[in-house]
């Protein structure tokens, strides 16, 4: 395949771009000169993110897309003429029940969004990423991708699978002009992650971060994404783990007071 036209603006597609890490990453990549394509299920949220980006003089397009719906992915991809970067960010955790009490439907939902969604979106965009001559696939996983903990079985299993997807894809694309990068954040304080995990219980969601001196925020992860994407094209950051200083491990968190 011939490289994408050099005079065309580099394009980055971000899944789950309506809030949190996805929204911050979209803004940061736009600042790096990319035309960003914001995808997700909530059109209103995507439009608000796009409005903030365009207000800063940058380029953003909104494309409603559910990563669990291959036909929706195909519709969005068919409308693209170019894609240089794919950020697989859509996902999340549901519930904290132990394995003996877990609802299989919650596990199924986590696999569909975190794993199958990333698989389907990556498959659909690989031809354009390869055609760009210098494509990058980013997978936002988690420290749960290599560590298990009580009450996190479903989420950890899904993120372990996403970690396997990243590593396998990197091997299979060896020799192709596409980098595969996995970024695994630890504790990140966003407006929705823990709230969704605790099924809307604001007190339990807030308790996750109680007493923690400066947990990561979405912009920290977006900064890491931008750094990996802007390395020289021969440099692949295979696997980047990031945590706040107050978190030494999944189960080791310093809390003040």
Angle at alpha carbon of residue 67, lines to 63 and 71, rounded to 5°: 75
Catalytic residue among 34, 149, 155, 198: 155
Does 155 qualify as catalytic in the annotation? yes
CA 256 – CA 252 distance, rounded (Å): 13
- Give the residue among 180, 179, 162, 147 at the shortest CA–CA distance from 250: 147
Neighbours of 1 (CB within 10 A): 10
Burial class (CB in 10 A: 0-12, 13-18, 19+), 34: buried
- Dmax over CA atoms of the chain, in Å, equals 59
Paired sense of beta strands 247-249 and 252-253, if any? antiparallel
For residue 53, CA distances in Å to 32, 47, 78, 142 come to: 12, 10, 24, 26
Paired sense of beta strands 247-249 and 239-242, if any? unpaired
Q: Alpha helix locations (H) across the chain?
A: 20-31, 43-55, 70-78, 104-111, 117-131, 153-172, 193-197, 202-207, 218-229
Q: At what angle do helices 104-111 and 153-172 cross, to 10 degrees?
A: 30
H/E element holding 114? none
Catalytic amino acids? 155
């Amino acid at each position: 395949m011939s490289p994408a036209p050099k005079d065309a603006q580099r394009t980055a597609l971000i899944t789950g771009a309506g809030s949190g890490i996805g929204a911050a990453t979209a803004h940061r990549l736009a600042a790096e000169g990319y035309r960003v394509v914001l995808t997700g299920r909530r059109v209103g949220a995507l439009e608000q993110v796009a409005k903030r980006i365009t207000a800063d003089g940058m380029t953003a397009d909104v494309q409603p897309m559910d990563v669990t719906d291959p036909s929706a992915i195909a519709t969005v991809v068919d409308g693209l003429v170019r894609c240089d970067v794919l950020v697989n960010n859509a996902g999340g955790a549901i519930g904290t029940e132990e394995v003996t009490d877990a609802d299989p439907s919650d596990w199924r939902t986590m696999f569909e969004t975190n794993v199958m969604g990333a698989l389907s979106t990556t498959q659909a965009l690989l031809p354009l990423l390869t055609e760009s001559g210098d494509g990058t696939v980013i997978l936002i996983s988690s420290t749960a991708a290599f560590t298990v903990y009580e009450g996190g079985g479903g989420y950890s299993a899904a993120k372990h699978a996403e970690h396997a997807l990243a590593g396998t894809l990197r091997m299979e694309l060896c020799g192709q002009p596409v980098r595969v990068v996995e970024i695994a954040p630890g504790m990140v304080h966003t407006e929705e992650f823990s709230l969704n995990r605790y099924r809307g219980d604001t007190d339990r969601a807030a308790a996750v971060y109680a007493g923690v001196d400066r947990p990561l925020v979405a912009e920290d992860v977006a900064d890491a994404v931008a750094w990996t994407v802007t390395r020289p094209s021969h440099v692949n950051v295979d696997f980047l783990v990031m945590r706040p200083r107050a978190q030494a491990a999944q189960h080791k968190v310093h809390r003040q007071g």
